[in-house]
Amino acid sequence: KFEIFNLDMKTGDTLKIKGKISEDADGFSINLGCKSSDLALHFNPRFNESVIVCNSRCSNAWQAEHRDDHLCFSKGSTVKITIEMLADKFQVKLPEGHEVELPNRHCYDKISYMSVKGGFRVTSFKL
């Protein structure tokens, strides 16, 4: 698990995360928000379902899932994921140029918390 509690991400910022997906990964998640119980973006590729699930979490309660069946990741590969924070949504740019969007449901203009969990080892990240 990789966690940052003092990330200073604001509207208009772009976060680039590079890492390696483990050979035995069922999936992984990248989470952005104020704390683990309040997430503006939960980005969760799931290999066992061949889907990318995006969601947000408010006071520990999950909101409606957004599912995208364009899973362009493979186990054991090195990937770069770019997340852009806009006023009304998050844009996640994936390998092969595919994009996934999730509305900024909490209307956050600042993100301080980030975590990466599951079968993904962060090798670099840049805000």
- Give 10-residue mean pLDDT values along the chain (127 residues): 95 97 97 96 96 96 95 93 97 92 94 97 96
Residues 6 or more apart whose CB falls under 8 angstroms from that of 44 comprise: 27, 28, 29, 30, 52, 53, 54, 55
Q: What is the pTM of this model?
A: 0.96
Report the C-alpha gap between 61 and 38 in whole angstroms: 8
- CA-based nearest residue to 81, from 100, 53, 103: 100
All structural domains of the chain: 2-126 (2.60.120.200)
Which tokens hold the place of 61? Answer: 């309660």
